[in-house]
Structure 1
Amino acid sequence: MGDQQGGRVGSAGIASVLRYLLAEVHPEDRAPYTMAEVATGAGVSESTLKAIKTGRGNPTFATLESLAEFFQVPAEVWVNPADPAAVIAGHRLEQAKVAAGVVSIALRADGLDAEGMDYVRRSIDQARRAQGLGPAKTGLDLRN
């Protein structure tokens, strides 16, 4: 991958994203994935991962797609000039919006003051707990 106008630059940018994914993208109830877990799950060698992580690798698009799939993030994360956390949060928000009823709930909340929005958030959290889902993973503080 060559230089990208206005975005991250080559191997260093890809390395930065991989380091972010390794440190931050994992199930809440466990520590970050090990290199061995990522290598096995993405179907790449540990040496390839280490090379990418240090900025010495020249990964193929297929490798980057496999890594994105493993971490369940959009492949766009590798090339989007925005912060990886923002790219992932935006992708998750888009996924949530297309889920049944989410857009309808958001439209119904339009115009509510801060107290009303807080009530809606608490109600949703209570419904999630009642269904055994645990807290929502927003990745964003949507109150501001």
Structure 2
Amino acid sequence: MAEEAGTWTLADRIDRLFLTVCRPDGEQYTHEEVARACREATGETFSATYLWQLRHGRRDNPTKRHLEALAKFFQVPVTYFFDDARGDEIAKEIAFLGALRNAGVRNVALRAVNLSPDGLDTVSDIIDTIARREQLRSQGR
């Protein structure tokens, strides 16, 4: 996936939705679940295979109605697919909401609510240090 949301392909954007907008039990929606909901919303043909092709870049020219159905299902504005600037903002919001679904992240955030600005800066510095160490470790250094 591209680093900056503005350089994301349609496939990247759809994949990001699948990865961050999950069922209430925390599991990803299946292609069949999403395709069925999109078929019901549009009345048009929309198969799990077609959705997989869109998600993996094998197809890249869906109808506007298909994109509107995907946007409705994942509860994002349809501009997520069409407007790079707005898509960037929405992608950041999606990533943030996805992170908050993680109980550990949510716990840290809730515990940090009452910290002073200096305390928050300290926590931020610690997180940056740990992230750098983990990145080096994952690179085998």
- What's the TM-score, normalizing by structure 1? 0.50
TM alignment of 1:49-64, pairs within 5 A: 49-57=51-59, 58-64=61-67
**Which residue of structure 2 lines up, in the alignment, with residue 68 of structure 1?**
71
What is the percentage of aligned positions where both structures have the same residue? Answer: 34
Q: Deviations over 1:71-118 (max 9, x none)?
A: 11111111232165325589x9xxxxxxxxxxxxxxxxxxxxxxxx74
Structure 1 runs (4+) deviating above 4 angstroms are: 87-90
**Which residue of structure 1 lines up, in the alignment, with residue 120 of structure 2?**
none
**Which residue of structure 2 lines up, in the alignment, with residue 22 of structure 1?**
18
Higher helix share: 2
Measured after TM superposition, the shift of residue 27 of structure 1 is 3.5
**Closer, same or farther: CA 89–31 of 1 in aligned 2, 3 Å:** closer
Secondary structure of 1:70's match? helix
Contact 1:77 1:88 in 2 (8 A): no
Quick one: which amino acid aligns to residue 55 of structure 1? Answer: G
Report whether the alignment pairs 1:32 with 2:28: yes
Q: Deviations over 1:17-55 (max 9, x none)?
A: 111111110244330101110110111211210111121
TM alignment of 1:108-119, pairs within 5 A: 118=114
Q: 1:46 aligns with which of 48, 57, 62?
A: 48
**Gaps spanning 5+ residues in structure 2: where?**
1-5, 40-45, 98-112, 116-123, 125-141
Aligned pairs, how many?
90
Measured in 2, the distance between the counterparts of 1:89 and 1:23 equals 9
**Closer, same or farther: CA 46–86 of 1 in aligned 2, 3 Å:** same
Quick one: which amino acid aligns to residue 80 of structure 1? Answer: D
Measured in 1, the distance between the counterparts of 2:12 and 2:90 equals 9
- What's the TM-score, normalizing by structure 2? 0.51
Secondary structure of 1:33's match? coil
Quick one: which amino acid aligns to residue 59 of structure 1? Answer: P
**Which residue of structure 2 lines up, in the alignment, with residue 86 of structure 1?**
92
Contact 1:20 1:84 in 2 (8 A): no
Secondary structure of 1:67's match? helix
Measured in 1, the distance between the counterparts of 2:80 and 2:32 equals 22
**Closer, same or farther: CA 89–16 of 1 in aligned 2, 3 Å:** closer
**Closer, same or farther: CA 76–88 of 1 in aligned 2, 3 Å:** farther
